[in-house]
Amino acid sequence: MFGAKKNKNETISKITNGKGMFTVKIVIAVILLFILVSNSYYSIKEEEQAVVCTFGSPKAVTTPGLHFKVPFIQSVTKVNTTIQGFNIGYHADGEEADALMITSDYNFIFVDFYAEYRVTDPVKALYASENPESILRNIAQNCIRTTIGSYSVDSVLTTGKNEIQSNIKQMILDKLEEYDIGIQLVNITIQDATPPTVEVENAFKQVETAKQGKETALNNANKYRNEQIPNAEAESDKILQDAEAQKQERINEANGQVARFNSMYQEYVKYPEVTKKRMFYEAMEDILPNVKVVIQSKDGNTSTVLPLDSFVKEESTTGNSSENNADSAEEEE
């Protein structure tokens, strides 16, 4: 009896243990399945690219979205492809030891730069070098010091900044192309350039202010010129139009004088002596309007020749007196 009970307990224990093991296996299977599923896909954002490595062979994936991979065989590394940047010369703690440089005229100067770059080849950015940003920083520092050393302190502080930035950028691009580490320089700019002493800094600030004042004066002069040129052109057109009008007026006047002369000449041809005397008297009247010309004859009699209105008056007076005498004579008769 006890033996049968013992066998029954062993049977129950085996069944219970069998169910427990089955449950554990199911749980393990679910966990493994979850791990497989979760490791069989990956997503890429717009600002990212991925490098999928299969048995040590990397391949770039540039299309954003959801992608699948073989779990435990393929590994995925994401690379940020947006524009990134770093300071050169200036540190967050305020130290500017790297910014101190020497110019071609043996002057010390503090120059701070800001470099911007982006990843162009994610495979090379991951496997061509251990730290591509550090390599870019070292290249930039070398190119900056080489370029600054070929310019005078005045050029670095005032007029030569654009040229210096352009030369430095080209040098860095050439070296990056030679090293081929998968990143590209986007831009490098001078953030600040100051001399090591306050006095020199103030002097250069005054120079910069004077140059800005010069540019302002030139801009104002160009603005004034642009405003005055249309006015001058309008005045020129007005003068030309007035001159053309005067020209036409004088031509018309000359034509009228010619016509008048021709008509007078026709009269002169008919009666030369009378016309000549009339023209002479008219000319003398115009020349000497208020002068009286008196002619005295040999017998002592005088007569007024000019102005002509005296003749008219005398004639009118004589005529009136004659008419009056005639009227009187008629009355007497």
Task: Output the pLDDT for position 311.
Answer: 46
Query: How crowded is the C-beta side of 218, counted as CA atoms within 13 Å?
Result: 6
Task: Output the pLDDT for position 301.
Answer: 65
Q: Are 109 and 153 in contact (CB under 8 A)?
A: yes
Whether pLDDT at 9 is above 70:
no
The vertex-121 CA angle with 115 and 123, nearest 5°, equals: 125
Confidence band (pLDDT; 50, 70, 90) for 10? Answer: low
DSSP 191: E
Q: Over the stretch 120-161, which tens digit does the pLDDT of each residue have? A: 999 998 888 889 999 999 999 999 999 999 998 888 888 888
DSSP 60: E
Q: Over the stretch 260-297, which tens digit does the pLDDT of each residue have? A: 888 878 877 887 887 778 778 778 777 776 666 666 66
Task: Output the pLDDT for position 275.
Answer: 77
C-alpha span between 76 and 79 (Å, rounded): 10
Residue ranges with strand state E in the chain: 41-44, 48-54, 57-61, 65-68, 74-80, 84-88, 100-102, 108-119, 183-194, 293-296, 302-306
Task: Output the pLDDT for position 293.
Answer: 64
Task: Output the pLDDT for position 296.
Answer: 66
C-alpha span between 127 and 203 (Å, rounded): 50
What average pLDDT does range 177-185 have in this prediction? Answer: 92
C-alpha span between 153 and 325 (Å, rounded): 119
Mean per-residue pLDDT over the chain, rounded = 78
Q: Are 169 and 187 in contact (CB under 8 A)?
A: yes
Q: Over the stretch 229-239, which tens digit does the pLDDT of each residue have? A: 888 888 888 99
DSSP 182: S
Whether pLDDT at 200 is above 90:
no
Q: Does the domain at residues 83-196 carry the CATH identifier 3.30.56.10?
A: no
For strand 100-102 and strand 84-88, is the pairing parallel, antiparallel, or unpaired? unpaired
Confidence band (pLDDT; 50, 70, 90) for 178? Answer: very high
Q: Are 48 and 64 in contact (CB under 8 A)?
A: yes
Two structure tokens written together for 114 = 């800001």
| Claim: this prediction has a pTM higher than 0.85 | no
Task: Output the pLDDT for position 55.
Answer: 83
Domain range summary for the chain, segments of one domain joined by +: 2-77, 83-196
